[in-house]
């Protein structure tokens, strides 16, 4: 057996510290004594912990508890593997099927019982009951918007991670394109294996393929969405001949260019050519993030500097999806 | 594998493996809807609003996707089951035309504007919610802010769905068996790739590529191929002071003699499989490792000999402990056995930290599904872990899956 955990670098520690500070600072701005997180991506953002990936939603539960008074992080984990050093072993509470055991572990977290405001990223009836018993004076406050707004604006180190993740997605796409003549299944399999050779086997949206109807199935769309070192790499092309269609390449360039600070969904719509059959611009980071902007969604949202966006466009049966980082004046496709 | 180590268990499982009737998805959906309706009536719940993927799949047949939680929550379909109605309501833009549901446009309840869309549909379907008993699995922050269920008498839907799905229909059992068979086929095809000098990622990648070849749409868990320490003290520190599994982190390169615990799960028509085996890298198991496997087989045979309607979870735990010569042969943070269905682990749970009283009150009944996953651990030698899925029948049990052997042990 060889070492199974990558050696943590100082860069990891700095990024985790920066994210953690953001979360505690944001808690302070809205007066949260405690923040309870249940979603994998939120937990990873706040704590830096890595854990086994499972698909889809999980039943809601308190997977991570942040206490403002002590600026301490408490984590649902039965072991310290994947847990960063700033979360000491004493702050772990193990997986349990027993609500009483879980309640006992949470009750021991300093500051929870006396909390006046507890933020939650979602809420189940079971956890609401438990929270009202553990912290009778506390008001339960939705804090998903707090996390979402914070996560939408990336730190420079996060952009570097996303850049590296896109490189893995690119290698997967290249492998898929190389066997595109063999059809969508062959391309998917090759893309999956290319990512896996780089140690990446966790999907965000996954590696999917579907026919391009105007081409009567002669071409297909291949889309790659993978989680690399905690961040999403994404890319979409139509195969065979991913870069060969000048019209869609130019249209995508215009849409990426329109993703400037201050732009709204209306501005993006104007940048999309009339013949486009689909477009979507949405946040990307530790998975799908805010904002989500389409013809029908995100009309109150405004693009800001520091966002990383998944920009997607389909024109004449050719589809492109690229991640782009929004700079001070324009955005750059990664 | 007809004799030698593991022969008794293999024969026993083969005798109890029966052909499944073809899956009728329409019938399966109607029977699940009837069970949900019965629980709504029994528990005095007027409507169930479902966001959690497996719950939506149970209520409507909407397939689950092998995507990350962030996609599942931003894009997830929502189900609404109203007491007394013939069909469930489904809010999604990814329409499967074969589903027998009342369709509504997708709401995105993760976002405030989407929660407002959801409130509108709920209002159209059941009218004002104030004072009404509505069961939910979870509410998003946006739903709380928007007040989608404000002033409703909110109940926990896990009581409704949990009771409905505890006993599986024949179609559900056939789905689980088919999921397990496909999972086993994919593993059988790629086990040879787990060699000295190969990384976990490469073997997992071969498995994922194999799933594509077999037409499996959704992989439900990052394939676990975890090289295990020989002593608990050599592994990560755990809250239970036993071995850590499954950690799901890192990309180790396999070396000769690695004991690798393997675990994977895929979907078939909304139902999960659960594959578990122990592999040895680059050589045959030695005598001490074979002893672990033999004891694992003995525990399995003892539990299966006990399993039939009306025995309790406690009875199964005691049979396992006796065959192990005392001491609980399973991981303390998990269980001796768990159910499987639309969730990869659901009731019945046997041998958990819910405690012996819970186990003694858990009575086996026909249609329950158990994934048996004993673990034999001998500190200094290591551990053997594998899993088999069985369904309780009128007179005992039957084996679900295709009868995958235990290479390189047998």
Read off the tokens for B286.
């030695």
d(CA B398, CA B369): 10
Query: Residue A8 pLDDT more than 90?
Result: no
Note the pLDDT of residue A5: 44
CB within 8 Å: B199 and A297: no
Q: Which residues contact B125 (CB under 8 A, 6 or more apart)?
A: B47, B80, B82, B89, B102
pLDDT in tens, B22-68: 999 999 999 999 999 999 999 999 999 999 999 999 999 998 899 99
pLDDT in tens, B193-245: 999 999 999 999 999 999 999 999 899 999 999 999 999 999 999 999 999 99
Q: Mean pLDDT over residues A109-123, rounded?
A: 96
Q: Residues A119, B135, A58, B74: what is their CA dihedral angle, to the nearest 10 degrees?
A: -70
Residue B135: closest CA among chain A residues belongs to which residue? A125
Taking the model in full, what pTM does it have?
0.96
Tokens 């009737």 belong to residue: B21
Out of A82, A125, A185, name the one closest to residue B156 (CB).
A125
d(CA B25, CA B172): 9
Using a CB–CB cutoff of 8 Å, tell me whether B218 touches chain A. yes
Residue B248: closest CA among chain A residues belongs to which residue? A52
d(CA B156, CA B159): 6
d(CA B16, CA B181): 15
d(CA B132, CA B118): 17
Q: Mean pLDDT over residues A265-283, rounded?
A: 95
pLDDT in tens, A221-256: 999 999 999 999 999 999 998 777 899 999 999 999
Q: Mean pLDDT over residues A272-292, rounded?
A: 95
Q: Mean pLDDT over residues A302-313, rounded?
A: 97
Write down the domain spans for chain A: 10-150, 156-333
Q: Which of A104, A140, A146 is nearest to B353 (CA)?
A: A104
Interface mutation vs chain A, best among B94, B150, B247, B354, most A CBs within 10 Å: B247
d(CA B302, CA A272): 66
Interface mutation vs chain B, best among A1, A43, A185, A220, most B CBs within 10 Å: A1
Q: Which helix (H) or strand (E) holds B202?
A: helix B200-213
Note the pLDDT of residue A58: 86
List the domains of chain B with CATH numbers. 7-21+167-400 (3.90.230.10), 44-165 (3.40.350.10)
d(CA B55, CA B342): 7
What phi, psi does A310 have (nearest 5°)?
Answer: -90, 115
β-bridge mates for residue B337, sequence order: B350, B372
Q: Which residues contact B405 (CB under 8 A, 6 or more apart)?
A: B1, B10
Between A213 and A220, name the one with better pLDDT. Answer: A220
pLDDT in tens, B300-311: 999 999 999 999
Shortest distance between the Cα of A52 and any Cα of chain B, in A, equals 4
CB within 8 Å: B206 and A80: no
Q: Mean pLDDT over residues A153-172, rounded?
A: 97
d(CA A249, CA A266): 21
Shortest distance between the Cα of A93 and any Cα of chain B, in A, equals 7
> What own/partner pairs with CB < 8 Å and gap ≥ 24 does B335-338 have?
B335/A97, B335/B373, B336/B303, B336/B372, B336/B373, B336/B374, B337/B303, B337/B313, B337/B370, B337/B371, B337/B372, B337/B373, B338/B370, B338/B371, B338/B373
d(CA B168, CA B367): 5
Shortest distance between the Cα of B238 and any Cα of chain A, in A, equals 4
- B179 contacts B266 by C-beta, under 8 angstroms: yes
ipTM: 0.95
Read off the tokens for A29.
């701005």
Q: Which residues contact B297 (CB under 8 A, 6 or more apart)?
A: B5, B6, B8, B9
The CATH topology of domain A156-333 is Creatine Amidinohydrolase (3.90.230)
**Chain B residues whose beta carbon lies within 8 Å of the beta carbon of residue A80:** 236-238
Q: Which of A215, A122, A100 is nearest to B136 (CA)?
A: A122
Note the pLDDT of residue A10: 64
Query: Residue B20 pLDDT more than 90?
Result: no
Contacts with A, B 6-65, CB within 8 Å: 51-54, 64-65
Q: Which of A292, A125, A139 is nearest to B112 (CA)?
A: A292
CB within 8 Å: B145 and A51: no
Out of B74, B139, B221, name the one closest to residue A55 (CB).
B221
CB within 8 Å: B208 and A205: no
CB within 8 Å: B64 and A56: yes
d(CA B206, CA B222): 13
Q: Which helix (H) or strand (E) holds B271?
A: strand B271-272
CB within 8 Å: B220 and A54: yes
Residue B65: closest CA among chain A residues belongs to which residue? A56
- A175 contacts A222 by C-beta, under 8 angstroms: no
**Chain B residues whose beta carbon lies within 8 Å of the beta carbon of residue A124:** 136-139, 156
Note the pLDDT of residue A3: 41
Size of interface A-B (CB pairs under 8 A): 251
Q: How many CB atoms lie within 10 A of CB A224?
A: 31
Residue A122: closest CA among chain B residues belongs to which residue? B140
Q: Mean pLDDT over residues A56-67, rounded?
A: 94
pLDDT in tens, B313-356: 999 999 999 999 989 999 999 999 999 999 999 999 999 999 99
**Quick one: how far is CA A116 from the chain centroid?**
30
CB within 8 Å: A192 and B209: yes
Note the pLDDT of residue A2: 45
Out of B67, B144, B200, name the one closest to residue A56 (CB).
B67
A10-19, A48-57, A92-101, A136-145: lowest mean pLDDT where? A10-19
CB within 8 Å: A196 and B204: yes
Shortest distance between the Cα of A267 and any Cα of chain B, in A, equals 19
Query: Residue A4 pLDDT more than 80?
Result: no
CB within 8 Å: A205 and B110: no
**Chain A residues whose beta carbon lies within 8 Å of the beta carbon of residue B138:** 59-60, 122-124
Q: What is the CA radius of gyration of chain B?
A: 22
Read off the tokens for B376.
């034999």
Shortest distance between the Cα of A16 and any Cα of chain B, in A, equals 17
Using a CB–CB cutoff of 8 Å, tell me whether B105 touches chain A. no
Q: What band does B1 get if pLDDT is binned at 50, 70 and 90? A: very low
**Percent of chain B whose pLDDT exceeds 70:** 99
Out of A95, A145, A192, name the one closest to residue B212 (CB).
A192
Shortest distance between the Cα of B254 and any Cα of chain A, in A, equals 6
pLDDT in tens, B260-296: 999 999 999 999 999 999 999 999 999 999 999 999 9
Q: So what CATH class is A10-150?
A: alpha beta
d(CA A267, CA B270): 40
Out of A3, A125, A203, name the one closest to residue B136 (CB).
A125
Q: Which helix (H) or strand (E) holds B225?
A: strand B224-227
CB within 8 Å: B140 and A122: yes
CB within 8 Å: B138 and A59: yes
pLDDT in tens, A121-149: 999 999 999 999 999 999 999 999 999 99
Q: Mean pLDDT over residues A7-27, rounded?
A: 87
**Chain B residues whose beta carbon lies within 8 Å of the beta carbon of residue A94:** 238-240, 333
Out of A6, A40, A198, name the one closest to residue B69 (CB).
A40
Using a CB–CB cutoff of 8 Å, tell me whether B240 touches chain A. yes
């Amino acid at each position: 057996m060889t070492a199974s955990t990558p050696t943590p670098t100082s860069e990891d520690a700095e990024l985790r510290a920066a994210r953690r500070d953001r979360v505690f600072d944001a808690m302070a701005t809205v007066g949260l004594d405690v923040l309870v997180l249940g979603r994998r991506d939120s937990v990873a953002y706040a704590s830096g912990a890595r854990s086994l990936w499972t698909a889809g939603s999980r039943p809601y539960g308190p997977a991570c508890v942040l206490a403002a008074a002590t600026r301490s992080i408490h984590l649902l984990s039965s072991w310290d593997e994947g847990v960063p050093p700033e979360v000491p072993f004493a702050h772990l509470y193990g997986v349990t099927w027993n609500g009483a055991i879980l309640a006992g572990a949470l009750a021991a977290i300093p500051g929870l019982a006396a909390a006046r405001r507890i933020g939650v990223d979602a809420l189940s009836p079971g956890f609401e009951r438990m929270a009202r018993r553990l912290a009778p004076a506390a008001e339960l406050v939705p804090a998903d918007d707090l996390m979402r707004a914070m996560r939408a604006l990336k730190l420079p180190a996060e952009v570097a991670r996303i850049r590296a993740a896109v490189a893995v997605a690119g290698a997967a796409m290249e492998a898929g394109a190389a066997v595109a003549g063999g059809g969508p299944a062959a391309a998917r399999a090759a893309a999956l294996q290319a990512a896996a050779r780089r140690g990446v086997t966790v999907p965000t949206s996954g590696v999917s393929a579907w026919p391009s109807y105007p081409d009567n199935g002669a071409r297909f769309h291949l889309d790659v969405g993978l989680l690399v070192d905690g961040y999403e790499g994404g890319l979409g092309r139509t195969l065979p001949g991913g870069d060969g269609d000048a019209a869609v390449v130019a249209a995508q360039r215009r849409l990426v260019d329109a993703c400037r600070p201050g732009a709204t969904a209306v501005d993006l719509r104007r940048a999309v050519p009339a013949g486009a059959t689909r477009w979507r611009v949405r946040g990307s980071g530790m998975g799908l993030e805010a904002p989500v902007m389409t013809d029908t969604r995100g009309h109150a949202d405004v693009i800001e500097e520091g966002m990383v966006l998944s920009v997607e466009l389909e024109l004449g049966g050719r589809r492109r999806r690229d991640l782009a980082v929004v700079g001070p004046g324009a955005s750059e496709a990664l | 594998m007809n004799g030698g180590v593991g022969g008794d268990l293999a024969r026993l499982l083969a005798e109890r493996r029966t052909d499944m009737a073809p899956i009728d998805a329409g019938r399966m959906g109607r029977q699940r809807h009837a069970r949900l309706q019965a629980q709504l009536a029994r528990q005095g719940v007027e409507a169930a609003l479902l966001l959690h993927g497996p719950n939506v799949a149970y209520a409507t047949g909407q397939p689950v996707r092998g995507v990350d939680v962030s996609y599942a929550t931003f894009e997830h379909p929502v189900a609404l089951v109203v007491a007394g109605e013939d069909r469930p309501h489904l809010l999604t833009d990814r329409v499967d035309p074969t589903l027998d549901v009342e369709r509504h446009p997708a709401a995105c309840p993760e976002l405030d504007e989407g929660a407002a869309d959801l409130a509108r549909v709920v209002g159209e379907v059941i009218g004002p919610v104030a004072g009404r008993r509505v069961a939910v699995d979870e509410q998003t922050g946006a739903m709380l802010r928007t007040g989608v269920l404000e002033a409703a008498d909110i109940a926990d839907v896990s009581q409704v769905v949990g009771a409905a799905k505890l006993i599986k229909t024949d179609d559900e059992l056939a789905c689980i068996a088919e999921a397990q068979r496909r999972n086993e086929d994919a593993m059988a095809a790629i086990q040879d790739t787990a060699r000295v000098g190969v990384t976990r990622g490469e073997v997992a990648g071969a498995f994922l590529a194999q799933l594509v070849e077999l037409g499996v749409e959704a992989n439900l868990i990052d394939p676990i191929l975890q090289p295990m320490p020989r002593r608990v003290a050599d592994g990560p520190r755990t809250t239970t002071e036993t071995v850590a599994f499954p950690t799901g982190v890192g990309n180790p390169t396999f070396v000769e003699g690695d004991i690798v615990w393997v675990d994977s799960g895929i979907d078939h028509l909304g139902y999960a499989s659960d594959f578990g085996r122990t592999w040895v890298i680059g050589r045959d198991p030695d005598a001490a490792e074979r002893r672990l496997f033999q004891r694992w087989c003995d525990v399995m045979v003892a539990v299966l000999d006990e399993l039939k309607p009306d025995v309790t979870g406690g009875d199964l735990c005691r049979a396992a402990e006796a065959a192990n010569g005392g001491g609980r042969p399973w991981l303390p943070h998990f269980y001796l056995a768990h159910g499987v269905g639309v969730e990869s682990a659901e009731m019945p749970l046997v041998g958990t930290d819910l405690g012996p009283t819970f186990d003694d009150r858990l009575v086996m009944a026909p249609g329950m599904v158990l994934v048996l996953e004993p673990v034999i651990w001998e500190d200094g030698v290591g551990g053997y872990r594998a899993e088999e899925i069985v369904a309780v029948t009128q007179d005992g049990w039957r084996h679900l899956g295709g009868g995958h052997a235990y290479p390189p042990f047998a």
